[in-house]
Amino acid sequence: MSTRSVDPADRIGFWEEHNRRALVGLSCSSYSQQGLLATQRNVEMGGLRLADIAGNEHVIERTPRTCRSLPKDSVFVSLLTAGQAVFFHEGGCLTLQAGDLVLYDTRSPYLFGFPSPMRQLLVDIPRELFAARCASGEVVAPMLFGRASATEGALVSALGAVLGGWAAGHGCDDAVSTEATVLDLVRTLAGPAVDGHSVPPAALSQLAVAKDYVERHLADPGLSAGRVAEAIGVSARHLSRVFLPTGMGPARHILERRLARACADLADPRLRHLTIAEVAHRWGFASQAHFTRIFRSRFGRTPGESRPGRSGRRPVPE
């Protein structure tokens, strides 16, 4: 859904009505001379709903009156992926930057303001599901995550990778597993704050964190299974158990992701200026010869033959 095709005078009402039906009742104000320019895509994720929202400068508010007239019994988990925001609530104000995650109760009034172009990935978790799978206590006040520690930052980053992939249409045949991963990550983040005791990360959340760490460090030639295990705080043996559901070990996963990224670069006409050696180096391979040997073993042709127009064969998809 987009407001761009709507008359500027009707955009606010259009946006409020759409959110009332698709997500939550709220009021909206725009401070841009262009009026509200916003898009929203809502997708199901098992028992969850994910809203991918982008827009220019605006404010949305869920007032006490709105909470009474349009009740909503959910916990929202909102990850700001671009822009800045302020979140006003009964107990004060939170200032958010890209990469921050805020968790809050839709039964309580709040105001979410965006002073610049923004994008957020918002997960709607029904309260019963949140209580059963994440934390049984009450979300008394909004909670901000992403800055307290490197571990917390890694969990938020992994959650963003899972949500971003789902919003982009990746993994749509595995809603149950994706839902479980999201709930495990939210449980690991919010459980200690809501229930007052530490929550050991489940295997699914550890796998998501490990995969996210791998994606962000593929260009590092020193990336290894041992490095990943150390980064997420587990033993190498435990990391191997975490990767069991994928059908491959962590070392093989690293290699497959490097090969997939390199293959995508070789197939991209915009990157034809890069030499084979540069592509290999870009994704952490120690030498062109090693890269060529591994690439040919995996795909049945050389990196040079994978470039458009070289062999007449289609490039291997990621």
33 within some domain: yes
pLDDT beyond 50 at 314 = no
Phi, psi at 77, each rounded to 5°: -120, 110
305 within some domain: no
User: Per-residue pLDDT tens for 137-192?
Assistant: 999 899 999 998 888 999 999 999 999 988 888 655 578 889 999 999 999 999 98
48 within some domain: yes
108 within some domain: yes
82 within some domain: yes
pLDDT computed for residue 69 by the predictor: 97
pTM for this prediction? 0.83
- Tokens describing residue 13: 């009402």
pLDDT computed for residue 193 by the predictor: 86
Burial class for 71, CB neighbours closer than 10 Å (0-12, 13-18, 19+): exposed
pLDDT beyond 90 at 25 = yes
251 within some domain: no
Query: What is the CATH classification number for the domain harbouring 125?
Result: 2.60.120.10
What integer is the mean pLDDT of 121-129? 97
Residue 116 lies in domain: 8-152
- Cβ atoms of 204 and 177 closer than 8 Å: yes
What integer is the mean pLDDT of 119-128? 98
With b for 16 or more beta-carbon neighbours within 10 A and e for fewer, the 183-210 pattern comes to bbbbbbbbbebbeeeebebbbbbbbbbb
Torsion sign, CA atoms 201, 93, 107, 164: negative
258 within some domain: no
- Cβ atoms of 184 and 204 closer than 8 Å: yes
Cβ atoms < 10 Å from Cβ of 158? 25
Cα(18)–Cα(71) distance, rounded to whole angstroms?
Answer: 16
Cα(60)–Cα(83) distance, rounded to whole angstroms?
Answer: 15
User: Domain tally for the chain?
Assistant: 1
103 within some domain: yes
